[in-house]
Structure 1
Amino acid sequence: MIVKTYGSAIEGVKAITITIEVNVSPRGSKFFMVGLPDNAIKESEQRIISALQHIGKQMPRTRTVVNLAPAAIRKAGAAYDLPIAIGILGACGQLSSDAFASHLMMGEISLDGKLLPVRGALPMALQARTEGFTGIILPMDNAAEAALVEDVTVYGATHINEVINHLRGSTPLTPATTGKGTTLLQQPITYDFDFSEVKGQLHIKRALEIAAAGGHNAVLIGPPGAGKTMLAKRFPSILPPLPLEEALETTMIYSVAGKTTDNNSLIVQRPFRAPHHGISDVALVGGGSTIQPGEISLAHNGVLFLDELPEFRRSVLEVLRQPMEEGSVTIARARQAITFPANFMLLASMNPCPCGYFNHPEKKCSCAPGMVYKYLNKISGPLMDRIDLHVEVTPVTYTALTEQVTAESSQVIRQRVMAARALQKERFGDQPVSCNARMTAKMMHRYCNTDVESQELLRHAMKRLQLSARAFDRIMKVSRTIADLDNSERITARHMAEAIQYRSLDRQSWGG
């Protein structure tokens, strides 16, 4: 007898419906698994045998063939245990096949029958809705995440026995419920760090406000102890909240990576990823034997913070260049190419030289001649060109540290950032661009309206600093953001001058 159950395979951040065909024939005694399964799926036979024996069911002793279709798609992981086990019970007559024809199910089964969580529950639920399934059965740990998808009933189970009883109709499972995405996003977000705790550093706060308002990449350069990392940790507190569409995109990535829990079934806060400088290329970009998203994809719609930028291997930094431009990363293999979203803001910090005191207002740099240039040269020119804001961080004075004046809070700054983002949203309309940093050349020509004085200022800066065409684009985009913060339709000389000053590393005084 042949029966069919349905599961999902994850490719990138999307799910593909897999049909699990089980045929139990009276002749023969072997178990066959076909359809391009990996070793984890092949081992499901032993887990299923033990689980069925534990609940008083029997594995058929005759010839059993399990086919995972379509066979051209590689299947990986132990999450196919549940649909295979249910298919076997249906094929040998221990469960009616009509009960699960309209259900999609996934789950790893332990030896005693308990269901263990799987990855990719959210894209599975989205695909189940698209394919017209009336219900999806998942381990209880994944139910809240999948229940974010409307118009499909999600059932969470802790044991295979619960699934069997539900399909028989004797003890139906209770549909999982979670708050709607819009409701979850309206809940207040608390931040561990706030800009009101920062003494002085007004120009750094201003630069970070511009970066947040326009989605610009930024690098903080200054001596040790000046507050670069401290300021970076507070950067998420001034970012605009996630809209529902971006929240679902981000949650899908975390779901595929297995990083969602019941407490964060929907990612409501912009990600802030801060990998160590010893990270490998694969861990940063994504990949592996089973292709998984890397740090740049986990930072999608959020911030990737690289502390001590020159300490990262050059090969690691160079792989950032294409994702920073495209907003996505494609990982190619011999038989497949997977694309992950990677629309992140790069925030980096670095010392100006090995000793850390080059250009320090008081301490003398002890580096030998040429060492500053060699140190900065660890970061390639093309990568530095892609960083919009080069922000010099100077040490905080004793007077500033002991002032009793309360600094501006993150909430106040965030309101200005949100107002600037609202202007950009209205300006771009339905175009696939969310902020100024992502403007195309055609959009820049249309929206970056400058006066004669600002044009002359930029022409002089291009000639004196020998800026590249990409640096020209960055300055124009940053000046557009500064004008938005000023609620100005036209870019003036004041806006242009402030944008130009954020190209510190283009000046000859650095590392010359």
Structure 2
Amino acid sequence: MLARVDTIALDGIRAIPVEIEVDLGRGLPVLNVVGLPDGAVRESKDRIRSALKNSGVQLPARRITINLAPADLPKEGSAYDLPMAVGLLAALELVPDGQMHGRLFLGELSLDGRIKPVPGCLPAALLAKELNLKELIVPAGNGPEGALAGGRVIAPETLLDLMRHLSGEKPLEPVPPLDWQQTLVAQESRGIGRVRDLADIKGQEHARRALEVAAAGGHNLIMSGPPGSGKTLLARCLPGILPALSLEEALEVTAIHSVAGRLEGNAPLLTRRPFRAPHHTASHVALIGGGGVPRPGEVSLAHRGVLFLDEIPEFGRYVLETLREPLEAGEVGISRAARSTRFPARFQMVAACNPCPCGHRGNPYVSCRCSPMQVERYGARLSGPLLDRIDLHVEVPPVPPETMAELPSGESSAIVRERVTEARVRQARRNGGAVLNAELDGVPLDRCATLDAESRELLLHASRKMGFSARSHNRILKVSRTIADLEGAEAIHATHLAEAIQFRMGGRFPGNR
């Protein structure tokens, strides 16, 4: 008998329908899996045999062929265990074949018949909703994640539970849909995704202002200063002043983490903006993504959030240069011989560095021990094209320990977040949709960042003196537009432009004299 079962394959964060055909024929007893399976899929036949046997089902001595269609699409991972086992049950007439229609299956099988969680459940749920399928069958551990899309989700613990559900002997209750607001409140009460507060920072008013501008317009930021001046703490405060994710953004971010297999069972929906801080020894594959089976890298895991590169000159130069495309395009393309995959990567990059190898160049309290040649070699690790793509360049000077106790605490993240949210609302109303100022280009930028005569003369003078590139020119306009939005101004004034130019010229970076 021939049976058909529906499941999925992953292309980036998108689910593609896959049909599994199971045929029982005459011939020598063998179980063959065809349709470009990888090693994990080929090994599934041994897991399926044991899971069926321990669930009370013995495979007959027949020639069994399982085809994964379309046959030219590579199939990877263990999520095909459950649909192939269900296809075998339908071919053996142990569950009604009509029960396969309108259902989507995925899950990994243990040898004792338990169904284990698998990556990519949320994209499968979104596809099931798009195709208007009546039911999504996922492992119990993936149940809350599958319910995010709003469809009917069944999450059995074991293969035997699923057999009873499909045969009508003991139907399972669907997973209750996830309430967006209740999930947000629950995660806040458990401290999931909690970040540092700006009130923890004393002094550093200029850097705090740069952080607020970066958050309001979605701009990239680099900070330079001696060790202990507060660069890392400032960076870790940025997610706390960013507006909350919308439901659509949260589903998009969650889908990326689902494909990467990084969702936690107690947090099926990511309600906080991600903050990723890879170590400087990370490879370009870890940062950008890739591998034999393409998986999202740090830039995609930071989508709609913050990518923090601490001690950025210590990263490999080739690794840093791979950031150029995602910084401009907001996505990453990974090409392999068999397939090409694209992952979203619309993130804010925040980088921190020392002004020299010892870290004390320009420090009024500690003498620098580096020679000019050492400083030049250190600075050569950051290319001009990469720095040109960073909007805000800020110097973070040391705060004298004797004045720390006297300095008052600054504004809290909640207060700053209100101003940032108001500025983003103005941008959305003017720019259309969710387009931030940092994403403006071409005609939309010319329309939104019109300068008066005084401002044009100021920008022209600064460009001639500092040798700004065309990209730098446009990024100054974007930052000045954001500064005007923070003040609620309809037009860009010379004061807004002057501050934007200051942020472009600021910072004592390696190699700068």
Which residue number corresponds to residue 59 of structure 1? Answer: 59
Which residue number corresponds to residue 177 of structure 1? Answer: 176
Which residue number corresponds to residue 486 of structure 1? Answer: 487
Shift of 1:440: 1.1
Shift of 1:49: 1.0
Distance 1:100 1:274 in 2: 44
**SS of match in other structure, 2:144:** helix
Which residue number corresponds to residue 330 of structure 1? Answer: 333
Shift of 1:131: 2.2
Q: Which of the residues 193, 201, 223 maps onto 1:198?
A: 201
Distance 2:51 2:448 in 1: 63
Would you say how many aligned residue pairs link Structure 1 and Structure 2? 509
Which residue number corresponds to residue 88 of structure 1? Answer: 88
Which residue number corresponds to residue 168 of structure 1? Answer: 167
1:450-469 mapped onto 2 (5 Å cutoff): 450-469=451-470
1:318-347 alpha-carbon deviations (Å, 9 max, x no partner) = 000011000000001112110000000000
1:195-274 mapped onto 2 (5 Å cutoff): 195-274=198-277
Shift of 1:5: 0.8
**SS of match in other structure, 2:169:** coil
Structure 1 residues 508 and 284: alpha-carbon distance in aligned structure 2, compared to 1, 3 A threshold: closer
Task: Provide the TM-score with structure 1 as the length reference.
Answer: 0.96
Give the letter aligned to residue 36 of structure 2. L
1:287-327 alpha-carbon deviations (Å, 9 max, x no partner) = 10111000000000000000000000000000000110000
Shift of 1:95: 2.0
Worse-matched range after superposition: 188-197 or 459-468 = 188-197
Distance 1:124 1:370 in 2: 55
1:46 aligned onto 2:46? yes
Structure 1 gaps, min length 5: none
Q: Report if aligned partners of 2:288, 2:299 keep a CA contact under 8 Å in 1.
A: yes
Which residue number corresponds to residue 8 of structure 2? Answer: 8
Distance 1:452 1:396 in 2: 40
1:233-266 alpha-carbon deviations (Å, 9 max, x no partner) = 1111111111111111101101101111232211
Shift of 1:197: 1.3
Shift of 1:188: 7.6
Distance 1:141 1:26 in 2: 38
Worse-matched range after superposition: 283-292 or 169-178 = 169-178
Distance 1:253 1:19 in 2: 24
Give the letter aligned to residue 391 of structure 2. D
Distance 2:77 2:440 in 1: 40
Which residue number corresponds to residue 477 of structure 1? Answer: 478
Distance 1:154 1:95 in 2: 19
Give the letter aligned to residue 418 of structure 2. Q
Kindly, what percent of the aligned residue pairs are identical? 47
Distance 1:398 1:508 in 2: 24
1:402 aligned onto 2:401? no
1:111-160 alpha-carbon deviations (Å, 9 max, x no partner) = 0000110111011011112223200110011110110112x210111110
Task: Provide the TM-score with structure 2 as the length reference.
Answer: 0.96
Structure 2 gaps, min length 5: none
Q: Report if aligned partners of 1:185, 1:244 keep a CA contact under 8 Å in 2.
A: no
Worse-matched range after superposition: 398-407 or 55-64 = 398-407
Q: Which of the residues 266, 282, 286 maps onto 1:283?
A: 286
Question: What is the root-mean-square deviation in Å for CA atoms of aligned residues?
Answer: 1.7
Shift of 1:423: 0.3
Shift of 1:460: 1.1
Distance 1:56 1:119 in 2: 28
Shift of 1:65: 0.6
**SS of match in other structure, 2:79:** helix
Distance 1:509 1:173 in 2: 62
Distance 2:237 2:123 in 1: 32
Shift of 1:182: 5.5
Give the letter aligned to residue 59 of structure 1. L
Distance 2:510 2:134 in 1: 66
1:68-217 mapped onto 2 (5 Å cutoff): 68-150=68-150, 152-181=151-180, 184-185=183-184, 189=188, 191-217=194-220
Distance 1:122 1:311 in 2: 36
Distance 1:508 1:392 in 2: 8
**SS of match in other structure, 1:158:** coil
Structure 1 residues 425 and 183: alpha-carbon distance in aligned structure 2, compared to 1, 3 A threshold: farther
Distance 1:96 1:293 in 2: 39
